[in-house]
Amino acid sequence: MSKIKLATIWLAGCSGCHMSFLDLDEWLLELAEHVDVVYSPVGCDLKDYPDDVDVCLVEGAVANEENLELIRIARKRTKFLVSFGDCAVTANVPGMRNMLGKAEPVLKRSYLELGDDSPQLPHFPGIVPELLDRVRPVHEVVDVDLFMPGCPPDADRIKSTLEPMLKGEQPVMEGRDMIKFG
């Protein structure tokens, strides 16, 4: 049996979901027997999202042009996309900037009003991604196949989500242990 091509991506978030993934500890060794990690911010230095990914765990909300481009590419090239954690599912903490309106008031508040010695707006095309006017959860931008809430989802929930997929089965997202937010 061929290995599952697994990817993880990190959009606007704190990387807590990826840290919980690493909390799988010794189960990561068992997982490695069944998957090839083909793209990830953890332990992978690939620059381009590959074709024909079987499963992708998407951490974080869609907050800037770079996030938007990556999630669209990931959706096109992935068979099964998982919204991984509360930021991906609801926009959570990154989405709090939506209360200030569009991107411009956020940038002015952060860089001009609260700037230290030389307040200025960051504008370095190609280096600093442009903010979107609104932070959005992943499902508002692309179709999502499974939602795994949690801030972050704990290792047991991640394992309980991935284990059925290793057998070609759909994870059952029912009960407090699998669907609790926060």
pLDDT in tens, 59-82: 999 999 999 999 999 999 999 999
Strands (E), 11-137: 35-39, 53-59, 62-64, 78-84, 131-136
Selecting from 3.40.1440.60, 2.60.40.10, 3.40.50.700, 3.40.50.150, what CATH number does the domain 4-98+130-179 have?
Answer: 3.40.50.700
Q: Which residues, including other chains, have CB under 8 Å from residue 120's CB and lie 6 or more apart?
A: 111, 112
For residues 23 and 45, give the distance between their C-alpha atoms in angstroms, rounded to a whole number.
Answer: 21
Stretch 98-123: mean pLDDT: 86
Stretch 89-99: mean pLDDT: 95
For residues 133 and 48, give the distance between their C-alpha atoms in angstroms, rounded to a whole number.
Answer: 26
Lowest mean pLDDT among 2-11, 74-83, 167-176: 167-176
Q: CB of 144 within 8 A of CB of 83?
A: yes
Whether 1 shows a pLDDT value over 70: the answer reads: no
Q: Which residues, including other chains, have CB under 8 Å from residue 174's CB and lie 6 or more apart?
A: none
Q: CB of 161 within 8 A of CB of 177?
A: no
Peptide bond connecting 152 to the previous residue in cis, omega within 30 degrees of 0: yes
* Tokens, residue 82: 């998982």
Whether 96 shows a pLDDT value over 80: the answer reads: yes
Q: What is the overall mean pLDDT for the chain?
A: 92
pTM: predicted TM-score of the whole model, two decimal places: 0.92
Residue 45 has what pLDDT?
73
Strands (E), 14-64: 35-39, 53-59, 62-64
Tens digits of residue pLDDT in 31-40: 999 999 999 9
Q: Which residues, including other chains, have CB under 8 Å from residue 19's CB and lie 6 or more apart?
A: 152
For residues 128 and 89, give the distance between their C-alpha atoms in angstroms, rounded to a whole number.
Answer: 25
